[in-house]
Chains A and B, each alone.
Chain A
Amino acid sequence: MTSHSDSNTPEDGLVSVPVPTASESGAPAAEDPPPSVIRRFLATRGSGRLADQAFGGLMVVCACSIFAIVLFILTILILRSKLSLVQFGWKFFTSQAWDPVSGDFGALPFIYGTLATSFLALLMAVPLALGVAVFLTELCPKLLRAPISFLTELLAAIPSVVYGLWAAFVLVPLMRDSLGPFLYKYLGWTGFFEGANFGVGMLTASIILAIMILPIISSLTRDIMTAVPNSQREAVLALGATRWEMIRVGVLRNSRIGIVGAVMLGLGRALGETMAVTMVIGNHAEISKSLFAPGYTLASVIANEFSEATDDTYLSALIEIGLALFLVTIVVNTIARLLVWAVTRGAPARAA
């Protein structure tokens, strides 16, 4: 520590050395009683009020830069999408038209695609994530706990484009040749698995999304379940409950709000996921009941068409889609964070 070497020879500083004319301690020196030797020594070491305030101020500025970032994103998105905001108004979100040539834009197919894929992904991921969390917190032998949670966290570290690559070359053929026909044969009567099956489409996108949001939901749920005090578990066990009854009554019921929060955080991630979805969803702006049909999401239409957008209306329509995505994810994340905070407030926090 640097301060340690400084205080090695305090006598020098205190006694023999005439204190140099303080550059920073001007304010205290102006007062009537002359400042003590110690105070002047400290002042030469940069312990003036000024240095402290400057440092504190710098930190506050950096902290406020986070507000600035959010505000700046919001402002610039609104500014740049003004053209389309004015021209289409609310109709933008209910119109199915997406015609760059004639300049008519509506975001409904993308909203449908985003909601449908995210919802399906949650449907697949949530039960699995809950199972993993229950397994890791309540059932798992200690020896396996660390490696398994490490593996699930590795899943979160794989970049989205790599998921997309894997999905495009492994999942798509699988869907086209085996999983798709299987679903058509046994569940075709529902109407969700009809039409031509090219492998790319909403269902493939949902599956890869589910794989991607699983680790987020399961690690958050695990944190929340760990925060449930052991006395709750012991109390239920003492009443003669089996282990599952203990988990249900003692753990899941206590952490349900946090689990909802974790699921919503996963939803936020799913709504904004871009690359992997773009690579397998088929990119076709049409609303179709069949899950085999190609679709489009808010994020993937931006990724795909942004660099082709030449005229201003087209560009501002795409930026308006970005604005919508921003606002929706902000709302979802705010609700989710509030729910998670409500549960884990007392427990030691972890990086999410």
Chain B
Amino acid sequence: MSTRPIAPSPALREPTNFNTRAMRFDQMRRTAVNHLVTGIAVLSTVVVITPLLLILGYLIYKGASSLNLAFFTQIPKPVGEDGGGMANSIVGSGVILTLASLMGIPIGIAAGVYLAEFGRGKALATAVRFTADVLNGVPSIVMGISIYALIVKPEQHFSAFAGGVALAIMMVPTITRTTEEMLATVPHAIREAALGLGVPKWRTAISVSLRTASPGIITGCMLAFARVAGETAPLLFTAFGNQFWSLSLTQPIAALPLQIYIDATGPYDVWHRLAWAGSLVLIALIMVSVTLVRVFANRGQLKGGS
């Protein structure tokens, strides 16, 4: 962990002449290496930023040229017909995400409250925290097949509800960890003031801690929301997609990322254009929510999660 102590070289024990040729050469070499590494670091940053700009630029170019009013008002046309849109997918995504948020956000926040307010220093809390972190890294496709095995298989049909559950499970660990981190920034004095007035602990947690940390927690929820909004893999075998209007929770439902996947892997040029337009809409939704959240979170005194 710590730096190794640098042994004084024998040459340094006596007064040294720093102006020898070897010394000057060494100095030049070190300066050169310094500049070289600086250059590499700058270059790699440029290399990393470039694909982002390329992707965004190309997406906006292709998406904007394919986007029209029909995209927002029509459902996909049968194969061979021009036009059509993704209205049912946009609404379907809304249904699935609402379901997921209704299930995932309360559980996530409650688990975060436990970690920050009740479980400080307990072994259980450490275990929960760690499991949440690990669960965060579980591939989304695994969530998809587990929910398939749990809900879709016994019921014998794909459903919007199953899609919602799959996304909710993905939201929980992220929200738990952000809530905990945000609650940890609430000064103890505020809690103690509330407790000192005789406010019970549960009320302190809700009306004092949670309310003080609410900008950060909302940030966390929005980020989790944005993250699952673009997920395709868990919906492949749960919500399954639908070419027609459906709002029923027990029927297969269309979702924006799913429809993009179907259109992008299809053979028709019309579909590809729809996929580009869908991607632009999806990314606009995600970017707007993430950016709004940044502005929102930076305004309060509490700093939001990244």
Contact = CB atoms under 8 A, between A and B. Distances in A.
Q: Do A and B bind each other?
A: yes
Interface of A: 1-3, 7, 38, 42, 45-48, 51-52, 54-56, 58-60, 62-67, 69-70, 72-73, 76-77, 79-80, 127-132, 134-136, 139, 148, 150-155, 157-166, 168-170, 211, 214, 218-219, 232, 235-236, 239, 242-245, 247, 249-250, 253-254, 257, 265, 268-269, 271-275, 279, 299, 302-303, 306-307, 318-319, 322, 325-326, 329-330, 332-334, 336-337, 349-352
Contacts of B47: 128
Contacts of A148: 45, 49
A329 B139 CA distance: 8
Contact of A63 (B128, B230, B306): B128
Contacts of B194: 3
A236 B143 CA distance: 48
A169 to B, nearest CB: 7
Interface stretch (B70-78, B81-89, B173-181): B173-181
B145 A47 contact: no
Contacts of B299: none
23 contacts: A38-B198, A46-B200, A47-B203, A56-B202, A63-B114, A63-B125, A63-B176, A65-B111, A69-B169, A128-B47, A132-B48, A154-B290, A159-B257, A160-B231, A161-B261, A162-B55, A170-B54, A170-B58, A274-B141, A319-B145, A330-B138, A350-B305, A351-B306
B182 to A, nearest CB: 9
Q: DSSP majority for the A interface? A: helix
Interface in B202-257: 202-203, 205, 207-208, 211, 220, 223, 226-227, 229-233, 236-237, 240, 257
A337 B133 contact: yes
B205 A64 contact: no
B141 A303 contact: yes
Contacts of A254: 1-3
B177 A62 contact: no
> Chain B: interface residue count, which band?
35 or more
A214 B48 CA distance: 8
A274 B118 CA distance: 38
Contacts of B148: 306
A62 to B, nearest CB: 4
A244 B110 CA distance: 46
Contacts of B131: 66-67, 70
Q: DSSP majority for the B interface? A: helix
A131 B44 CA distance: 6
Contacts of A164: 261, 264
Nearest to B131: A66
A154 B287 contact: yes
A152 B48 contact: yes
A194 B44 CA distance: 28
A321 B45 CA distance: 37
Contacts of B265: 168, 279
A351 B237 contact: no
B41 A134 contact: yes
B159 interface: no
A306 B236 contact: yes
B135 interface: yes
B292 interface: no
B30 interface: yes
B52 A151 contact: yes
Interface centre among B41, B184, B201, B205 (most CB of A within 10 A): B41
Interface centre among B48, B115, B229 (most CB of A within 10 A): B48
Contacts of A1: 207-208, 211
Nearest to A212: B51
B114 to A, nearest CB: 4
Contacts of B54: 170
A261 B127 CA distance: 19
Nearest to A65: B107
A46 B203 contact: yes
B110 A63 contact: yes
Contact of A70 (B107, B134, B150, B260): B134
B230 A334 contact: no
A274 B119 CA distance: 36
Contacts of A232: 3
Contact of B275 (A66, A165, A214): A165
